[in-house]
Amino acid sequence: MAEDFAKGERRLCARLGLEGDAAESLLSAMRAGVSSRQAVVLTARAPQDYVPPFACTELDAPWLPPRVYVPAEGVKPTAHADYVAGLYYSLDLSSCWESACLSEVPAPASSLDMCAAPGGKTMLMAARFGAENHTANEVHPGRRGILRQNLEQCGMPQVRVTGNRPDQWARSGEQFDLLLVDAPCSGQSLLCKGIKNPGCLGSGMVNGNAKRQKGIMLSAVQCVAPGGHIVYTTCTYDPEENEKVMAYILKRNPDWQAVEVPLLAPFRSALASFPAYRLLPAHGFGAGGFCCLLKKVE
């Protein structure tokens, strides 16, 4: 078992092209499990001039999305009455990093979060653009309930909540200006947060997720109007579930292109010929993840 894990670690570093100190840094973050960093995003319930009632850290991070704050070390944002009142939503700083892709997207007339529960990406989108004509979709019934609760708590009753599979969306003929695809993945970054995730480095888990992600994205591209965008994100490091999924989609859909996100330039992946971005624990902004912004040409 330990041998399999070590083999998985080595394979991941090789796939990421990490050697020496860079490889050691990722491996020690996965073993230590202390890279988690929290953030809060203000909700529709928070007045325009609201600031959270706890100490926050000033980050040197131009990509930090609007209405997002980073609680100082030791602060528990969920312990405050304002959290219960729904003035802000608590989530991972790495999720906020991924949503910087939205800085290159015009305000959408309609949007769909295809894998929405528990609701973090929807909250970040709403903080930037509002949530008029937004649909939050979650296939898993139990998780859909949590999503509904979170949207209610955060004052977003206008959001339509649905439970369609991606292929059902594709067949529906409905078209959106913006799709968020925060895809189910092997979740390798969970290790860096101290969350047990057996098998997440195994090729079976990685390849199975990559297959599912390609299926989701093949449906997703059918749901976007010309000129519209997809923000693809995962909380895993393996290129099979990230760059390779994007390359697969771009190859099969010549009317799509990957779009540069200047705010994320320091995180540009060297593993793709198109713009794609990876955050690692060594960057210091949480456990990390991957994002890529795709546009359907007009």
Ligand X SMILES: C[S@@+](CC[C@H](N)C(=O)[O-])C[C@H]1O[C@@H](n2cnc3c(N)ncnc32)[C@H](O)[C@@H]1O
Least spacing, CB of residue 165 vs ligand X, in Å? 6
Binding test (CB under 6 A) with ligand X, winner from 155, 163, 184, 202: 184
Least spacing, CB of residue 170 vs ligand X, in Å? 11
Instruction: Give how many residues touch ligand X by CB under 6 A.
Output: 18
Token look-up 């079976």 returns: 204
Site for ligand X in 194-253 (CB under 6 A): 212, 216
Token look-up 């390359």 returns: 247
Binding test (CB under 6 A) with ligand X, winner from 38, 94, 95, 111: 95
| Closest chain position to ligand X (CB) | 120
Binding test (CB under 6 A) with ligand X, winner from 26, 96, 116, 245: 116
The interface region with ligand X, picked from 45-53, 119-127, 239-247, 272-280 by CB under 6 A, is 119-127
Least spacing, CB of residue 21 vs ligand X, in Å? 30
Quote the DSSP letter at residue 157.
T
Distance CA 209, CA 2 (A): 22
> Quick check: 138 binds ligand X (CB under 6 A)?
yes
Distance CA 117, CA 182 (A): 10
> Quick check: 148 binds ligand X (CB under 6 A)?
no
Nearest CB to ligand X, comparing residues 138 and 238: 138
Answer whether 220's CB lies under 8 Å from 179's CB.
yes
Token look-up 């997809």 returns: 230
The interface region with ligand X, picked from 82-90, 136-144, 239-247, 269-277 by CB under 6 A, is 136-144
Residue 103 CA: distances (Å) to CA of 47, 129, 234, 250, 259:
22, 10, 18, 21, 11
> Quick check: 143 binds ligand X (CB under 6 A)?
yes
CA dihedral 180, 186, 254, 138 (to 10 degrees): -30
Nearest CB to ligand X, comparing residues 11 and 165: 165
Query: Around Cβ 28, how many Cβ atoms within 10 Å?
Result: 13
Angle between helix 120-129 and helix 141-153 axes, rounded to 10 deg: 40
Answer whether 291's CB lies under 8 Å from 264's CB.
yes
* 235 has catalytic annotation: yes
Binding site for ligand X (CB under 6 A): 95, 115-121, 138-140, 143, 165-166, 182, 184, 212, 216
* Residue positions annotated with a catalytic role: 235
